[in-house]
Structure 1
Amino acid sequence: MGNAADPAWIEQLKRGGALPLTGLDSCFNGWCSPPGDCFRVRGPDYFATKAKIAAGDWLLEPLAVDWIKSSSKIYDVLRHPQSRIAAALGNLDLIPGNSSSILSNSPTSPFVWAFNLQVPSKENYSAIIYFVSHHPFPENTLIDRFLRGDDAFKNSRLKLIANVVQGPWIVKTAVGEQAICVLGRTLTCKYSTAPNFLEVDVDIGSSMVANAIVHLAIGYITSLTVDLAFLIESQHPEELPERILGAVRLGNLELQSAVPLELMSGDSSSNSFPGESSFSSRLWKGFTSLLTPAGQSSTRPDDEDDDDVKDSSS
């Protein structure tokens, strides 16, 4: 975990950017790292008992959070010359000098994970969450197979847990106090990989349901505190228990704090996603419950029986 012994470049990145690094009890317009035990994940006997356990320590070290906006949707941050993370890695001679290069393949080089949450809005906000590891991942472990896997494998495994720590009733009703989502099943994800980094650009606007919920939450963003954890879903007994890759708390963000940054744009023509998921159905039911008069029902189908949506241990 992060401490005073961290290399200076890591501490500089943690405390730089538009959002300051704060403490857990003072996370106002900033970020911090909540304990892994704030989240519940599939335990060692999950497939027999459906029991979940406190997640424990993260696998990756928190590195930085960026809160930026652009005239177009933001992609490929770790390959862009205006990225402060890419610049720092370049200063470590891990990027050979131009924005199209990839990181070096040295086994002693840090491996950076970037999760770019593209917020659907006129200003094209992105909350980009970075983690870092300092050692190679053992071969044939779940994390190694995830990194080597194709986009279809990554889409089926990358999971997000979101806990609403503090917020107005209307947001908690729409989202629920905890939401669990395998991202690639619900949202469009673009993966940018290199020997020493993985970037996941998550298009929240690719789901009309998530789009509606985020637009609702944006109106209350200054009074909203959310914990986010990223993990690789365990789908076989030998992969249990689940482990969190990394977690971050975002507290009481202010839209005006986002730093303008002109980055590369991508194809944002699609505002729909293939198929339906129980996660999106849950969001829709929460959202429409606020808008639909008593005695009427929405046109969405009922939730599927999916343990990712409801914690079976509770």
Structure 2
Amino acid sequence: MAKPEQNQEHEWIERVKSEGAVPLLEPEYCPNGWASPPGDVFLVRGPEYLKTKGKIPGGDYLLKPLGFDWIKGPTKVSEILNNPKNRVRRALEDEYSRGHKPFIWAFNLQVPSKENYSAVAYFVSLEPIPEDSLINKFLNGDDAFRNSRLKLIANIFKGPWIVRKAVGEQAICIIGRALTCKYCTGENFIEVDIDIGSSMVANAIVHLAFGYLTTLTVDLAFLIEGQTESELPEQILGAIRFSNLNAASARQIELPSERSTENLRASTPNRFWKSISQLIKPGAHEIDSNSIPPRVNGADDLDKSSKDVNKL
């Protein structure tokens, strides 16, 4: 039986999950809503992948689902967790004031449009991150390392044939190689702002899909690619399903002024600066693209053309 303090600790998660403009619903039926799909709908690299190219069902997620936002702004929405008015940011600060130390991940898909839509998936870890884990390596790595490892698996669970054909089944891409990513990091969070409009192919596919938005059910999984035996099997960080979204249901948000954002950055301990301090110590060295292990060709590489790699 869960202790009262444990129940209280998780109440804030349930509250954040239910507060967005798009409601949390069951994965089997979530019209104009979002859900957490079962991990087994995704295939990831198995323990023998380097030898056999074999994949296995994704299984349990490493992170807990925390929320989903369908929002729009006066300009492209970015650095959401640096916005003091953001609902997830406020919840995070409240938990820290109570002595809890959750760590939040936010994946902000910036949709190319005049209305500056963003679909934002939030996940949370309540346990300390092991120092020898791939997650810790990702959080403390530089942008070149992150760009070479952060992977997206996209699947049109339901939708018109033309969109399913354009995206493909279980489309896979290393996000930072296909799209421009901006990493916003703090002591208690990491946010990845993903500019879909930075790729002509992804831009075209999203524009096509947007015309069928109210008929689509989309599954997206985020993970860090395993490239060595010790990093396999792959484990999914978290996944989101959104269904039959309506453009009109996007919540208009107010962006902070540039000055207030700078003040917030200055007052927030940042993992990036911790990494910089490590680099200037004697014997430390910077991880660059030349020191990143080469990408292992596998089923997801052999089965996809370079055009497919850019797909979302």
* Pairwise TM-score range, normalised by the shorter structure: 0.7 to 0.9
The residue number in structure 2 matching 1:33 is: 36
Which SS does the other structure have where 1:308 is aligned?
Answer: helix
Give the whole-Å Cα distance in 2 for the aligned partners of 1:124 and 1:32: 23
Retained in 1: the 8 A contact 2:68–2:121?
yes
1:59 corresponds, among 62, 65, 78, to 62
> Which blocks of at least 5 consecutive residues in structure 2 are unaligned?
1-5, 259-296, 305-312
Q: Secondary structure, in 3 states, of the residue corresponding to 2:204?
A: helix
Match of 2:92 in 1: 89
Residues 49 and 265 of structure 1: CA distance in aligned 2, closer, same or farther (over 3 Å): farther
Which deviates more from structure 2 when the two are superposed, residues 60-69 or residues 255-264?
A: 255-264
Q: TM-score when scaled to structure 2? A: 0.79
RMSD (CA atoms): 2.1
2:228 to 227, 231, 236: 236
**Partner of 1:200: helix, strand, or coil?**
strand
Q: Are 2:213 and 1:210 aligned?
A: no
Q: CA deviation at 1:93?
A: 4.1
Residue in 2 aligned with 1:76?
Answer: 79
Q: Which residue of 2 aligns with 1:274?
A: none
Q: CA deviation at 1:307?
A: 3.2
Deviation at 1:263, TM superposition (A): 2.2
Tell me the distance in 2 between the aligned counterparts of 1:173 and 1:247: 22
Q: 1:265 to 1:66 in 2, by over 3 A?
A: farther
1:88 to 1:208, Cα distance in 2 relative to 1, 3 A: same
- Partner-residue secondary structure (3-state), 2:28: helix
- The aligned runs of 1:89-238 (5 Å cut-off) are 89-93=92-96, 108-238=100-230
Q: What amino acid maps onto 1:242 in structure 2?
A: E
Could you tell me which of 41, 45, 48 is aligned with 1:45? 48
* CA displacement at 1:50 relative to structure 2: 0.2
Partners of 1:107 and 1:135 within 8 A in 2: no
**Which runs of structure 1 show a deviation greater than 4 angstroms over 4 or more consecutive aligned residues?**
3-6, 309-312
| SS of residue in 2 equivalent to 1:24 | coil
Cα 1:265–1:126 shift into 2, 3 Å: farther
Q: What percentage of aligned pairs have identical amino acids?
A: 61
Distance in 2 between residues matched to 1:311 and 1:247, nearest whole Å: 23
* Cα pair 2:104 2:124 within 8 Å, conserved: yes
Indicate the SS of the match to 1:263: coil
- Sort the Cα spacing of 1:212 and 1:110 in 2 relative to 1 into closer, same or farther, 3 A: same
Per-residue displacement from partner, 1:271-296 (whole Å, max 9, x unpaired)? xxxxxxxxxxxxxxxxxxxxxxxxxx
Give 1:6 deviation, angstroms.
6.0
Matched, 1:11 2:6: no
Partner of 1:261: 253
Unmatched 5+ stretches in structure 1? 95-105, 267-304
- Checking the alignment, whether the CA contact within 8 Å between 1:107 and 1:136 is kept in structure 2 is no
Could you tell me the TM-score, scaled by structure 1's length?
Answer: 0.79
Instruction: Give the residue type in structure 2 aligned to 1:199.
Output: E
